[in-house]
Amino acid sequence: MNKKDYFYAALAGFITGIFAIPIFANLNVDIPYRAVVLLFGVPLLWMFGIWLGKFLARWLPFMYQFAKFSVTGFLSTAIDFGILNFLILVSGSAAGIVFSVFKTISFIVANINSYLWNKFWTFKKPRDATESKSEEDAAAAKEYVKFLLVSLIGLLINVGVASLVVNVVGPQFGIGQTGWANIGAVAGSASALIWNFVGYKLIVFKV
């Protein structure tokens, strides 16, 4: 672990805080000093997560990489939820086919972010000096195809579970439609989390 990992964790935390703003706004959640907590507290929390992952890696070697994956995952989830809530906020629609379209859009943007962070930070592999430029480009294209296939399955899991919770199960326990839409999004993201980590680690970015 080096200082760059703490910098990337802090940057991811700051961006996470930015995208969390429309989430709180749409849910009408007000916390004291919200801007300070989101834009400064979250980066510190993500940096602590990286330190904790390194500490736990003494006994479970994969935990350091999983800590970076978790930071990346929280960032991508914030982007996913932030865009989703922004679209709900400006459209006033939080159910039906419109919700599924919004969820697909937010997931795709978040997934692109996930690819870049996982490729260049979480699962970063050393460059093979023996490869020519054409071989390197071919390997990168093959890697992206595998990432796309894993991500499409993740998309089906994420959007499918979220849509099931929102459109089939429907609001429960007195929770409003907007709040339930976010619960559906949480269920979708949680369902795809394990699949994404295993798929990215063992299929896409396998060393």
Whether the predicted pLDDT of 129 surpasses 90 = no
Q: How many domains does the chain have?
A: 1
- Dihedrals φ, ψ of 63, to 5°? -65, -30
Which has the closest alpha carbon to 8: 81, 53, 72, 100?
72
Report helix, strand and coil shares of the chain as percent, to nearest 5: 80, 0, 20
* pLDDT for position 167: 86
Angular region, 176: left φ>0, alpha ψ -120 to 50, beta rest: beta
Query: Of 13, 28, 30, nearest to 73 (Cα)?
Result: 13
Structural domain that includes position 45: 3-204
1 pLDDT higher than 60 = no
Q: 131 pLDDT band (50/70/90 cuts)?
A: low
The H-or-E segment that residue 53 falls in is helix 42-56
Nearest CA to 53 out of 36, 39, 40, 70 is that of: 70
User: What is the share, in percent, of the chain residues with pLDDT greater than 70?
Assistant: 94
Q: Is the pLDDT of residue 207 over 80?
A: no
Where do we find the tokens 């990286």? 50
CA nearest neighbour of 124 among 206, 192, 50, 12: 206
DSSP-based three-state secondary structure for 207: coil
Measured from the Cβ of residue 176, the count of other Cβ atoms closer than 10 Å reads: 11
The token duo for 58 is: 């003494």
Give the rounded distance of the alpha carbon of 53 from its chain centre: 18
pLDDT in tens, 135-190: 677 777 788 788 889 988 988 888 888 888 888 888 878 788 888 888 888 888 88
- pLDDT 10s digits, 58-117: 898 878 988 998 899 889 989 988 999 999 888 888 778 888 888 889 988 988 898 889
Q: pLDDT value at position 61?
A: 84
Range of weakest confidence among 25-29, 113-117, 194-198, 200-204:
25-29
Do residues 82 and 19 touch, judged by C-beta distance below 8 A? yes
CA dihedral of 114, 117, 119, 124, whole degrees rounded to 10: -140
pLDDT at 133: 67
